Amino acid sequence: MKTTDPFDSPPAPLRPDLRSQWMLKPGVAFLNHGSFGAVPRAVFDAQNEWRKKIEAEPIELLGRRNFELLANAKIPIANWLGMNPGDFGFVTNATDGINGVLRSIALEPDDELLTTTHVYHAVRQAMRLTARRAGATLREVAIGLPVKSSEQIAQLVLEAISPRTRLLVIDHITSPTGLVFPVEKIIAGCAAKGVEVLVDGAHAPGMVPLNIGTLGATYYAANLHKWACAPKGSAFLWVMPQRQRDVHPAIVSHWLDDSFTKEFGWQGTRDISSWLTAPAALAFMADLGWDRIMSHNHHMAAWAHRFLCEKFDVEPLSPLDGSLLGSTATVSLPGKWKDRTLEEIEALQQRIYCEFGIEVPLMRWNERAMLRVSCQVYNMPDEYERLAKVIREI
């Protein structure tokens, strides 16, 4: 009996006209939720309410109640992601948290920082500076495209660990290539070798099921302003209890060495409204149903991946069954664009937005010209069809 492939067609919308719940510019196909996210109107309004409260009583809320307010905001996040509230602190983005970890590690000249060629470039730069200051080494494991399986990824990473490897920084979901890495298997393999692991989970919360407390990582940095749809500047750093005494935020303020909670709870005067609003974002998305959201977005990404590869007549960069995808998919650019310079590709991206009203990131990665589509609940199939038509016409 012939079976129907679920990714031959796009998923049905979770609700009618969900796009109206967001504040996105009318007429623009926003296929780049993965970069900075986008907040629903209700979350935007909730943040404004917090800002009003803070401005009405700046000293009371920031000076006297700061720790209390942040502690309350952490509870629903902890419950959602399987964390103890005391084991993570708020930061402005995942890169901020990663910088805090890297600055807290005392490296020796013979030590090595290890990552992969899929690392987010801002994190690569932070690792470069950390290694340079200590006279240590930064090494990247080459994971070429196309990728065939999660087993291939894990094998390449674990085989690259050397006696000098002090810390592995690994993406949960890669930014440029949109791949879900097998972090559980990699973390377990590193534990057997005595190597600490820092997971860059920038895209993970809200994209894939996640229980950080049982994952086994040493450190986990993640954003809430992407797939959880919290305000920009809402992120966290989780640290295993045994290492919390040694880890400090990138901004060291009054509470140095007092406690992990105090240090991350006060990093100087800043707008904490994004952190206080994160529970409202989780509640908004939970009303749609997290399992339904992740299933819908994954289905759309797997369909869009297959659809664009077919329309562009290009080789898929990961299996067409969607086994390495979350809510994003990266596809090679077709025809003449595959050999163009970064400057030409960036100009094309701007043209696609200005002339055709499509926001989608284009990039060069390891000599490949690619685009990455994001799939959030407000996206519709015709937006990806518009993109394919425009790219082929150009």
Bridge partners, residue 193, by sequence? none
pTM attached to this predicted model: 0.96
pLDDT range class, residue 2, cuts 50, 70, 90: very low
Is the per-residue pLDDT at 6 higher than 70?
yes
Q: Residue 317's closest CA among 160, 123, 174?
A: 174
CA–CA dist 370, 312 (Å, integer):
11
pLDDT per residue as tens digits for the range 249-282: 999 999 999 999 999 999 999 999 999 999 999 9
Q: What is the pLDDT of residue 338?
A: 79
Token representation of residue 224: 């809430």
Percentage of the chain lying above the pLDDT 70 cut: 99
Token representation of residue 162: 């050397």
Task: Name the region of 178 (left: φ>0; alpha: ψ -120 to 50; beta: rest).
Answer: left
Percentage of the chain lying above the pLDDT 90 cut: 94
pLDDT per residue as tens digits for the range 199-215: 999 999 999 999 999 99
Is the per-residue pLDDT at 1 higher than 80?
no
pLDDT per residue as tens digits for the range 166-203: 999 999 999 999 999 999 999 999 999 999 999 999 99
Q: What is the pLDDT of residue 336?
A: 83
Q: What is the pLDDT of residue 367?
A: 86
Average per-residue pLDDT for the chain: 96
Q: What is the pLDDT of residue 389?
A: 97
Which is more confident, 44 or 367?
44
Is the per-residue pLDDT at 231 higher than 70?
yes
Q: What is the pLDDT of residue 4?
A: 64
Q: What is the pLDDT of residue 340?
A: 86
Phi, psi values for residue 135, rounded to 5°: 70, 20
